């Protein structure tokens, strides 16, 4: 099965939105939740960069 970069990025966007909205109140109400939220955003940016570079080996990332 061939992976399509655009489909992976779309999947990431949809799941990111759903995940973050289900876990966090935006903006997070306290410092601890804010730190966790910012860490999740950083992780998602790294994953997005990896996909955009064409590295589809996501084992251990998701």
CB 25 within 8 A of CB 36: no
C-alpha angle 18/59/16, rounded to 5°?
10
Tell me the percentage of the chain whose pLDDT exceeds 90: 0
CB 45 within 8 A of CB 59: no
Distances in whole angstroms, Cα of residue 52 to Cα of each of 4, 28, 29, 35: 11, 28, 32, 26
Tell me the percentage of the chain whose pLDDT exceeds 70: 68
Residue 36 has pLDDT above 70, yes or no: yes
Residue 1 has pLDDT above 50, yes or no: no
Q: What is the pLDDT of residues 12-22, one digit of tens each?
A: 888 777 766 66
Residue found under tokens 């990896």: 50
- Other CB atoms within 10 A of residue 33 CB: 14
Record the pTM. 0.61
């Amino acid at each position: 099965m061939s992976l399509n970069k655009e489909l992976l990025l779309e999947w990431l966007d949809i799941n990111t939105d759903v995940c973050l909205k289900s876990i966090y109140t935006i903006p997070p109400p306290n410092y601890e939740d804010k730190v966790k939220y910012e860490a999740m955003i950083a992780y998602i940016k790294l994953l997005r960069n990896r996909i955009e570079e064409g590295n589809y080996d996501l084992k251990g990332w998701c």
